[in-house]
Copies of this chain bind each other. A is one copy, B any other.
């Protein structure tokens, strides 16, 4: 299976053009658009969402095509990472840092292959998708063993908002294990207690819960936690002292 993770949005032809390349070059491999609204231009935030999704939905033999690539057209390298049997293909900008760091076994490659026609702004379609399609078919040419760039400034868990959903729920980069259910978070100047699910949350008050990706998320039953608390991607969250 090929799974795509991008910040393209679903507007315009971008996702469709990339999907067409995948179906053209690997028609027998199922392709799933896992997410198209990853934090825009922010591989440093998207990394936390990506690793959570990879742990749940990407299996050995799969290829994750990850494109959050503000430096497209510049000098960042195209890379491939084989992490515990799953391939990740995309830019070398920190997007895969958390996956690499948590992998029991990781092999790292620079992509030396270049297409005949390479646009300056759409390497997802022109470069990464062909490589991903070939890897999904078991072909692996023009991958040069080479370490990915390290991003030591990324913590293992990120005490910040990484993503808002359509209802105004705000996902953080913190895993469930970071906080006991008795902990009180602070975000947007407000103290936030835990609830197990929306049906158990107090009316009119924001709460935090462990979302379906295993990340701490701040929500407000029947309302927008993001609007209520003034949260946006990057807004810090304060954890209680351990």
Contacts and interface: CB of A to CB of B under 8 A. Distances in A.
A230 interface: no
A10 B36 contact: yes
Interface stretch (A25-33, A80-88, A145-153): A25-33
B56 A37 contact: no
A171 to B, nearest CB: 8
Contact of A211 (B121, B197, B200, B213): B121
A72 B165 contact: no
Nearest to A163: B12
Contact of A121 (B1, B57, B59, B198): B198
Interface string A202-231: 000000011111000000000000000000
A19 interface: yes
Nearest to A27: B30
A189 B194 CA distance: 44
A120 B37 contact: no
Contact of A200 (B3, B34, B35, B73): B73
A114 interface: no
18 contacts: A1-B20, A9-B165, A10-B36, A11-B37, A11-B166, A12-B35, A12-B163, A13-B35, A14-B212, A16-B34, A16-B57, A23-B30, A27-B30, A73-B196, A74-B199, A74-B200, A120-B197, A121-B198
Given A13-B53, A13-B213, 6 more contacts: A3-B16, A13-B57, A16-B34, A73-B197, A120-B212, A121-B212
Report the 7 A-B pairs with minimum CB-CB distance, sorted nearest first: A73-B197, A122-B212, A16-B34, A74-B199, A119-B212, A23-B30, A120-B197
Interface of A: 1, 3, 9-14, 16-17, 19-21, 23-24, 27, 30, 32-37, 40, 49, 53, 56-57, 59, 70-74, 119-122, 125-126, 163, 165-167, 196-200, 209-213
